[in-house]
Amino acid sequence: MTEFLILSLCWLSGVFLGAIFFGGLWWTVQRALSSPRPALWFLGSLILRTAIVLGGFSLLLGPHWQRMIVCLIGFTMARFAIVWITTPSAPHSVKTPPGLNHAS
């Protein structure tokens, strides 16, 4: 395999691991809000997500620092993608009638 293909697979793996980590965090927050035991959701999710990501990093990368950099770039890109996907659209701005100021 060429080095470019290996680095591309490392980047793709970083995106996948980031999607699991940050998508799992979003999913956990949604579930924990309606749970009677939210701390259990957060703790269990943190342990599971961290174990998956660290295990994936250690299996994929080994001692190659170049692969680690590329994988972390993909991981970070997945974070921005998940935030963009899960952010609700902003409501339309409401025009304030003249004469109504904040805390007048």
Is pLDDT of 25 > 60? yes
- The pLDDT of 18-40, averaged and rounded, is 93
**Structural domain boundaries of the chain?**
3-86
Give the tens place of pLDDT for each residue, 60-85: 877 888 889 999 999 999 999 999 99
Q: Crossing angle for the helix pair 38-61 and 65-86, nearest 10 degrees?
A: 150
Q: Give the separation between CA 75 and CA 47, rounded to whole angstroms.
A: 18
What's the pLDDT at 102?
Answer: 60
pLDDT top residue among 99 and 67:
67
**3-class SS letters over the chain:** CCHHHHHHHHHHHHHHHHHHHHHHHHHHHHHHHCCCCHHHHHHHHHHHHHHHHHHHHHHHHCCCHHHHHHHHHHHHHHHHHHHHHHCCCCCCCCCCCCCCCCCC
What's the pLDDT at 15?
Answer: 96
